[in-house]
Amino acid sequence: MNKIIQPNSPMTIAGHTRAIATLGLPLVGGHVAQFAIGLTDTVMLGWYGVEALAAVTLASTYFFVLFLFGSGFGFAVMPMVAAAAGSGEDRQIRRCTRMGLWLSLGYGVVAMPALIFSRPILDLLGQDPVIAEMAADYLRVAGWGIFPALLVMVLKSYLAALERTQIVLWVTLGAALMNALVNYILIFGNFGAPELGVRGAAIASFSTQVVSFIAIIIYALKVLPEHALLKNFQRPDWEMLREVFRLGIPIGLTTLSEVSLFAASAMMMGWLGTVALAAHGIASSLAGLTFMVHLGLSNASTIRAGNAFGRGDREHMARGAKVVTVMSLLMSVIATVFFLATPELLMSLFMNGDDPQKPEILAVGVGLLAMAALFQLVDGLQAIALGLLRGVQDTTVPMLIGVFSYWGVGITASYVLGFVLGFGGIGVWSGLVLGLGCASVFLMLRFWGRVIGTVGVAKENADPR
């Protein structure tokens, strides 16, 4: 029988704020550091040349579409471990983490052909042949990083759910620093190394993923030996594998539908030309950087909601959900001010000052950053809502909401506004705003209007006191 752990007294708003900040800030830092790996590629390749920047923007988008779908299994581990910890079931922690690793490895095998043989797919998507070949060259090397990257996602979720977020931060910071150093050496040929350009960035990304996995698995085995994650790792646990798969597939599809919205926008910007795609790469990198704050808060909400779900504590979950939503809204306001007040300064950080195409890229990018300011609010809200729903292991309906919002509304609106109505890049990004806005409304309604009322009901019915 599950062990129910109830708090002695309701936590105050100030207490929730401190707890979310303590748990969430290292997660935010870890996401920012993880994002910095791709951001470093963007900045350094922007210095190297506009074509290289456009190619890696395309390749990174392609890679992350595949990676984020597979990361659904890693994301599934987080609420499962949090709920198991909340109800005192240590054996469940080990079981779901192991099967998350199994499923991630299996998905990596399935995804590899699409990464190695990406060139025909990029051609079918209507990309410039020169840019497509450079992007494919990047993916032939960096694509192998999907294996360690997915395993790291599972282990980060496992550790974060146990509120060991500091190690997640430090490992990711170390990876970001290593990536920056290897990029600097191999892209430009510094310290006597060959100048490899795009391929050098790919080698740096792959090496970083491998080192990150080695560091985090050593930590997990040494600090938490009671879970013995790799002992008899080869033995299947079919019941738990099905459970992680059941939870992970909808999460993966939700994540895929969201990232596909941004991937489709990158493809559409590619149709508008190299300058438009380069401007999109910079603007989306800046918007993505601020989104890491919301993603860290979303992960914190998943962990805390999952823990409350394991205890059947509805009041604790509801108050914490309100606090984390307000925190996300405040961060949206701050990001919006920066995007609207200093767009040219922010864009210039990503470009060589002598690049003859800089004025054109700035002209496009400033408008895109204005649109990014518009979707800060809705992007943060939909991330928080997804985090809360995952905490209570509600993933199927959010998946349907995501598919409708991101694909049905977002991608359709991007194409119609950008090309049918002729608004170009601004139209494409307006579709992003509409898709994210639709998701934020329906996901929040799902949590507050339907799900929160069911938390603890089974426990109350079983215990009429």
pLDDT tens series, the chain, 465 aa: 333 344 446 778 888 888 888 877 888 887 777 777 777 777 788 788 878 888 887 888 788 888 888 988 998 998 899 888 877 787 888 899 999 999 999 999 999 999 999 999 988 888 888 888 999 999 999 999 999 999 999 999 899 888 888 888 898 889 889 989 999 999 899 998 988 888 898 999 899 899 999 999 999 999 998 888 888 888 889 999 999 999 999 998 998 888 788 878 888 988 888 888 888 888 888 888 888 889 889 988 988 888 888 888 888 888 899 999 999 999 999 989 988 888 888 888 777 666 677 888 888 888 888 888 888 889 999 999 999 999 888 989 999 999 999 999 999 999 999 999 999 888 999 999 999 999 999 999 999 988 888 876 544 443 433
- The residue extents of the domains of the chain are 12-236, 250-454
Burial class (CB in 10 A: 0-12, 13-18, 19+), 188: middle
Which residues touch 184 (CB under 8 Å, ≥6 apart)? 44, 190
The span from the CA of 464 to the CA of 93, in Å, is 30
pLDDT in the model for residue 456:
66
Which candidate, 267, 283, 256, 377, places its Cα nearest to that of 325? 377
Element (H, E) at 277: helix 274-311
pLDDT in the model for residue 15:
83
How many other C-beta atoms are found inside a 10 Å radius of the C-beta of residue 121? 15
pLDDT in the model for residue 141:
92
CA angle 312, 314, 320 (to 5 degrees): 120
Q: At what angle do helices 358-391 and 424-446 cross, to 10 degrees?
A: 10
Question: DSSP code of 353?
Answer: T
- Measuring CA to CA, how many Å separate 101 from each of 70, 163, 250? 11, 19, 17
Question: DSSP code of 393?
Answer: T
Whether the Cβ atoms of residue 371 and residue 436 lie closer than 8 Å to each other: no
pLDDT in the model for residue 457:
54
